[in-house]
Chains A and B, each alone.
Chain A
Amino acid sequence: MNKIIIESLSLQYSDGTESLRDVSLDIRQNAVTVLFGPAGGGKSTLLRCLNRLNDLTEVKSSAGRILIDGENILDPQIDVIALRRKVGMVFARPVPLPMSIRENIIYGLELAGEKRRAKLDEAVERSLKLAALWDEVKDRLDAPAIALSGGQQQRVCLARVLALQPEIILLDEPTSGLDPISTGKVEAALQELKKDYTIVLVPHSVQQAGRTADYAAFFLQGELVEYGEGKSIFTAPKEKKTEDYITGRFG
């Protein structure tokens, strides 16, 4: 089933950097969809459209629609706060907020008005377990999140998103700063999470794209070149450009 339907999305930033040109894409529910390609191709831009984080950036022009569960989220009238609770995001660099692990996890919930201690505690345990971090931090939840290792910090960031019980999780090169073991843990967590969530991932390498993708979309200079099942794209790409990129002829 399609969770997100992107229809002829075009976007250009005011400073003339990265942009999207007429991108149409259907993103499946309960699957990992990978957006990959060389830098500046529009992957992150697309990701930041899906939770309207682009509202923070000056956009020169944009056109097209993005439907999530049938609702056009680019409509200025929609409740952006509710959208961001439903569509969570993990960034390339782990950014723990300057507070304890526990406070990081419940930050979004508290903003949403949840005050009951029991509910918050339950959310902390549940989301840390989902992010495969619970066993490592359960005895020091009140320690500053910054004191954790990079890989642990990134899983705090993932857990922080999961605490809000979103439906879609966006990940923008979430493992770019991590060692292979931490990367493996995050990737394993994603495979577990896709049973309940729709996941859109910008991987930090073609290899990671290949490992994780149920579906994959190849972006080049703002355009969607090819989109299909991960298996077929990485073994038998239809487009010459995709093949050249995957095999390392450019990039």
Chain B
Amino acid sequence: MKRLLTLNRHLTERIGFTAITLLAMVTVLPIVGTIIYILIQGAPAISLEFLTGFPRNGMREGGIFPAIIGTLYLALGTSIFSVPLGIAAAIYLSEYASDTPLTRTIRIAIINLAGIPSVVYGLFGLGLFVLFLNFGTSILAASLTLSIMTLPVIISTAEEALRAVPQSFRTVSISLGATRWQTIRRIVLKEALPGILTGVILGLERAVGETAPILFTGAAFFLPKLPGSPFDATMALPYHLFVISTQVPEMPIQIQYGTALVLLAFVLTMNLIATVIRSRARARRQW
């Protein structure tokens, strides 16, 4: 009787573990499936001409070069605004702010900022940057809109990275005659940098993949030439994908999947870079 019970217990455990393992594997399926599917469908479209050429014949032929360049411009523009601002805000929150109604308000604002649907950011960007500030439908307006959307991600990951630096480093540094700012610059920021970079990349990654915020603020349906200044509109990968998937009749399917593949490669590469930075920093960390 006793042996039977023990056996039973082992069996129950086996079944339980198997179920959990299967469920865990199910979560991997969608991502792997998506990647494989897009790879198979899109890979035939990838060619030198596709990556470096302009769209031809109502975008049914040719390449997606302007969309790739446009996405790079938007990523660059977004990082110019959101990175310094986000890191400064994180430093303020982690290093200087004490727990006052003001800082609590800032924190709540950041959390809520992260929850706003991206199309609402698009509308806000249209109102503020395109119309009120008169930047027009432009890389500048789109970058600013994407920056606002990216900020919460950058701020919260950067703040977390800063807070992870042991308090004792700060105390010791101050006791050796450092000012608060010297301590932040020479110790805290240096140690938090990999974590901050990860946050920046993840934030930009999100910005790069978004369609809604640039829809009204900077994205162009089709442009015969590359944008020449920040005040020009630009093509961009996610919007281009939307356009060729829904707005152009008789669109060859491999161009759609080719575009999706390039966008996916963009995003996954950024993810990979973030992961490498993180694991390298973890190996080298001295605390």
Contacts and interface: CB of A to CB of B under 8 A. Distances in A.
B185 to A, nearest CB: 11
B131 to A, nearest CB: 47
B268 to A, nearest CB: 32
Interface string B200-229: 000000000000000000000000000000
Interface stretch (A19-27, A107-115, A181-189): A107-115
B169 interface: yes
Interface string B252-287: 000000000000000000000000000000000111
B206 to A, nearest CB: 31
A97 B187 contact: yes
B103 interface: no
Interface in A96-138: 96-99, 107-108, 111-112
A161 B187 CA distance: 17
Contact of B182 (A97, A111, A144, A161): A111
Nearest to A81: B177
B175 interface: yes
Nearest to A112: B177
Among A91, A97, A146, chain B packs the most CB atoms within 10 A around the CB of: A97
Nearest to B169: A97
B173 A84 contact: no
A146 B178 contact: no
Contact of B176 (A56, A82, A160): A160
Nearest to A89: B175
A91 B170 CA distance: 13
Given A84-B177, A111-B182, A161-B176, A146 B286 contact: yes
A139 to B, nearest CB: 20
A91 B172 contact: yes
B174 A53 contact: yes
A84 B176 contact: yes
B27 interface: no
A111 B177 contact: yes
Nearest to B287: A98
B176 A108 contact: yes
A95 B169 contact: yes
A93 interface: yes
A89 B169 CA distance: 13
B171 interface: yes
B168 interface: yes
B173 A107 contact: yes
Given A84-B176, A88-B175, A96-B286, 16 more contacts: A53-B174, A53-B175, A56-B170, A56-B171, A81-B179, A84-B177, A93-B168, A95-B168, A97-B169, A98-B187, A107-B176, A107-B186, A111-B178, A111-B182, A160-B176, A161-B176
